[in-house]
Copies of this chain bind each other. A is one copy, B any other.
Amino acid sequence: MRFLVPFAVREPNTRLASLFEADERREFATVLLEDVLDAIRASGGSPEILATAPLDRDCPVHVDDRSLSTALNAILQDATEPVAIVMADLGLATPASFEALLEPDADIVLAPGLGGGTNAMVVRDTSFRVDYHGGSYQKHREAATECGASVETVDSFRLAVDIDEQADLAELLLHGTGAGPAWLRDAGVILDRTGGRCTVRRAQSGD
**Which residues of A pack against B, CB within 8 Å?**
15, 96-97, 100, 112, 114-117, 134-135, 137-138, 155-160, 164-165, 167, 170-171, 174-175, 191, 193, 196-199
Contacts and interface: CB of A to CB of B under 8 A. Distances in A.
Contacts of A137: 174
Contacts of A158: 155
This chain: how many copies in the complex? 2
B193 A134 contact: yes
Nearest to A162: B197
A93 B174 CA distance: 22
A117 to B, nearest CB: 7
Nearest to A100: B155
Contacts of A175: 112
Contact of A115 (B100, B112, B160, B198): B198
Q: Kindly name the residue among A97, A117, A157, A197 whose own CB sees the greatest number of chain B CB atoms within 10 A.
A: A157
Contacts of A138: 174
Nearest to A158: B155
A115 B112 CA distance: 18
A100 B116 CA distance: 23
Nearest to A114: B197
Given A137-B174, A156-B155, A197 B164 contact: yes
Contacts of A96: 155
Nearest to A15: B196
Contact of A191 (B15, B112, B116): B116
A97 B156 CA distance: 11
Contacts of A191: 116, 135
Contacts of A112: 157, 174-175
